[in-house]
């Protein structure tokens, strides 16, 4: 059991900095997901903890111990990779037992650990099979089993599910989460998939270009994104953004306006600004064609371009304020391409950002959710 602490950690490959001043603590027994687009430095961060990459500067601790110069085998970690590389000529049992045999653990202890892990993972029936006689999901379980038997202080996962088909990924995602609840070990999990991050992490860390953008519980980063990047990255479909002028103390939405008094001025600091980036999530837009005025809601007018129905819901593509927006509506709503619509949105759900720094203009974040 152990925490993992990063203090001013940098990683450079020759002249290229790929991790910059990374500061973060993963608490003991916490499940933290590192998420971000391809090339943002996720694997490099994880590999520095594993000892597979050196640390250019800064300190990484596991518990109280600085591990910068500790050899990988003495770090008390176990890593599961995307390409799980099982030994093809060994059966499942030996694949799981092999690392422990190398460490010269007593036979009965090895047997006990392998049996226990196979029970947890539901692969007891597969112990005699070779990897090629297993499905992708079963192989993935064996790879996880091989990590479990080591009883490490910290588990490191690098995109362990990306070789699986969509359905199996969802199933394994739930299994790894359950495993964490059972083992109560510190876990650090890397993915580029924001849905995986949202559903699995106690907290998630969002990286871009080697810089930490935001860290927090899934609902905190979803509700209170600190910048445009996080706002657009977390949530699917992505948040809608429109850059709009501020005219006479209100955000001008082409014929409609969102006034600053009341809810908006309570939530955001817009003093002295000439424009802002207005953000609204697809699920926070509704279509209301009545003329009822309500101070808690804002409005804009648009024209429907396309309706995509998934069965339970429709993604309605609309042009409003000269930008393409997406609204996520119940598929019960009858709506067709070419229609003019009035979109309504709760003012509490809007996001406003500075157009230059792209930072949120929110005055404060409510208590951690
Ligand atoms: N050994 C290396 N030498 C030089 N550059 C490297 C090396 N390893 C990684 N990089 C670069 O460092 C950056 C971060 O790589 P990293 O593998 O950490 O990204 P990632 O976030 O895991 O991406 P992905 O989602 O594609 O796996 C990339 O630009 C990559 O090209
Ligand atoms: Mg990677």
State what percent of residues in the chain have pLDDT above 90. Answer: 74
* Ordered DSSP codes for 103-162: TT--HHHHHHHHHHHHHHHT-GGGTT--GGGS-HHHHHHHHHHHHHTT--SEEEEESTTT
Ligand nearest to the CA of 52: 1
Report helix, strand and coil shares of the chain as percent, to nearest 5. 30, 35, 35
Task: Determine which residue's CA is closest to atom 3 belonging to ligand 1.
Answer: 13
CA distance linking residue 334 with residue 357, whole number of Å? 40
DSSP label at residue 72: G
238 and 183 part of one domain:
no
> How many helices (H) and strands (E) in the chain?
9, 20
Most confident option among 28-37, 255-264, 294-303, 326-335: 28-37
CB 343 within 8 A of CB 284: no
133 and 255 part of one domain:
no
Q: Which of 20, 39, 193, 194 to mutate to test the pocket of ligand 1 (most atoms within 8 A of CB)?
A: 39
86 and 181 part of one domain:
yes
**Residue whose entry in the numeric block shows the structure tokens 């720094």:** 357
Task: Determine which residue's CA is closest to atom 26 belonging to ligand 1.
Answer: 38
CA distance linking residue 157 with residue 147, whole number of Å? 10
- The neighbourhood of ligand 2, an ion, using CB within 5 A, equals 43
Is 61 within a domain? yes
Q: Is 325 in the pocket of ligand 1 (CB under 6 A)?
A: no
How many angstroms is it from 328 CA to the middle of ligand 1? 35
How many angstroms is it from 55 CA to the middle of ligand 1? 14
pLDDT digits (tens, 9 = 90+) for 74-122: 999 999 988 778 999 999 999 999 999 999 999 999 999 999 999 888 8
Burial class (CB in 10 A: 0-12, 13-18, 19+), 323: middle
29 and 99 part of one domain:
yes
Burial class (CB in 10 A: 0-12, 13-18, 19+), 132: exposed
pTM, two decimals, is 0.92
Task: Determine which residue's CA is closest to atom 8 belonging to ligand 1.
Answer: 44
Q: Which residues pair with 351 in a beta bridge?
A: 279
Tell me the pairing of strands 286-287 and 77-80. Answer: unpaired
301 and 205 part of one domain:
no
Residue 353 scores a pLDDT above 90: yes
Q: Is 192 in the pocket of ligand 1 (CB under 6 A)?
A: yes
168 and 245 part of one domain:
no
158 and 283 part of one domain:
no
Ligand nearest to the CA of 38: 1
What is the domain count for the chain?
A: 2
CA distance linking residue 253 with residue 297, whole number of Å? 13
Q: Take residue 6 and report the two structure tokens written for it.
A: 């990063």
Does a cis peptide bond (omega within 30 degrees of 0) precede residue 237? yes
pLDDT of 84 reads: 75
Q: Is 87 in the pocket of ligand 1 (CB under 6 A)?
A: no
CB 329 within 8 A of CB 287: yes
Is 361 within a domain? no
186 and 334 part of one domain:
no
CB 135 within 8 A of CB 108: no
Q: Which residues pair with 341 in a beta bridge?
A: 302
191 and 288 part of one domain:
no
pLDDT digits (tens, 9 = 90+) for 30-73: 999 999 999 999 999 999 999 999 999 999 999 999 999 999 98
How many angstroms is it from 276 CA to the middle of ligand 1? 34
pLDDT of 102 reads: 92
Phi and psi dihedrals of 94, rounded to 5?
-70, -35
pLDDT of 243 reads: 95
Beta-carbon contacts of 325 under 8 Å, excluding residues fewer than 6 positions away, are 240, 242, 280, 282, 285, 302, 317, 318, 319, 343
Regarding predicted confidence, which is higher, 335 or 366? 335
How many angstroms is it from 268 CA to the middle of ligand 1? 37
152 and 245 part of one domain:
no
Q: Which of 43, 193, 233 to mutate to test the pocket of ligand 1 (most atoms within 8 A of CB)?
A: 43
CA distance linking residue 313 with residue 85, whole number of Å? 40
State what percent of residues in the chain have pLDDT above 70. Answer: 97
184 and 276 part of one domain:
no
**Atom number in ligand 1 closest to CA 40:** 21
pLDDT band at 310 (very low <50, low <70, confident <90, very high): confident
Is 364 within a domain? no
Ligand nearest to the CA of 53: 1
Among 232, 247, 269, where does a domain finish?
232
Regarding predicted confidence, which is higher, 218 or 296? 218
The residue segments making up the domain with residue 73 are 4-232
């Amino acid at each position: 059991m152990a925490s993992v602490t990063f203090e001013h950690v940098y990683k450079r490959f020759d002249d290229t900095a790929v991790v910059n001043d990374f500061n973060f603590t993963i608490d003991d027994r916490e499940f933290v997901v590192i998420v971000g687009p391809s090339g943002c430095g996720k694997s490099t961060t994880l590999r520095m903890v594993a000892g597979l990459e050196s640390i250019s500067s800064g300190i990484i601790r596991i518990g109280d111990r600085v591990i910068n110069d500790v050899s990988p085998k003495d770090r008390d970690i176990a890593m599961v990779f995307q390409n799980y590389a099982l030994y093809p000529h060994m059966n499942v049992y030996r694949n799981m037992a092999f690392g422990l045999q190398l460490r010269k653990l007593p036979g009965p202890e090895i047997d006990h650990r392998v049996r226990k892990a196979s029970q947890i993972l539901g692969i007891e029936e597969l112990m005699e099979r070779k990897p090629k006689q297993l499905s992708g999901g079963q192989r993935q379980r064996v790879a996880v089993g091989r990590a479990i038997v080591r009883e490490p202080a910290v588990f490191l996962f690098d995109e362990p599910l990306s070789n699986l088909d969509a359905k199996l990924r969802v199933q394994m995602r739930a299994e790894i989460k359950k495993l964490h609840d059972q083992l109560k070990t510190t876990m650090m999990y890397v993915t580029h998939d924001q849905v995986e991050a949202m559903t699995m992490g106690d907290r998630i860390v969002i990286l871009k270009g080697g810089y930490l953008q935001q860290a927090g519980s899934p609902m905190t980063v979803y509700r209170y994104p600190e910048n445009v990047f996080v706002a657009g990255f977390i949530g699917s479909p992505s948040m809608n953004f429109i850059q709009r002028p501020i005219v006479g103390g209100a955000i001008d939405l082409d014929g409609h306006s969102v006034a600053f008094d009341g809810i908006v001025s309570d939530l955001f600091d817009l003093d002295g600004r000439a424009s802002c980036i207005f953000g609204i999530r697809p699920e926070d837009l509704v279509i209301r064609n009545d003329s009822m005025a309500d101070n808690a809601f804002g409005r804009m007018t648009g024209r429907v371009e396309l309706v995509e129905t998934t069965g339970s819901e429709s993604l309605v593509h609309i042009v409003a304020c000269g930008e393409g927006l997406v609204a996520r509506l119940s598929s019960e709503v009858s709506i067709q391409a070419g229609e003019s619509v009035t979109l309504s949105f709760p003012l509490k759900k809007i996001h406003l950002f500075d157009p230059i720094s792209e930072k949120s203009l929110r005055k404060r974040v409510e208590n951690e959710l």
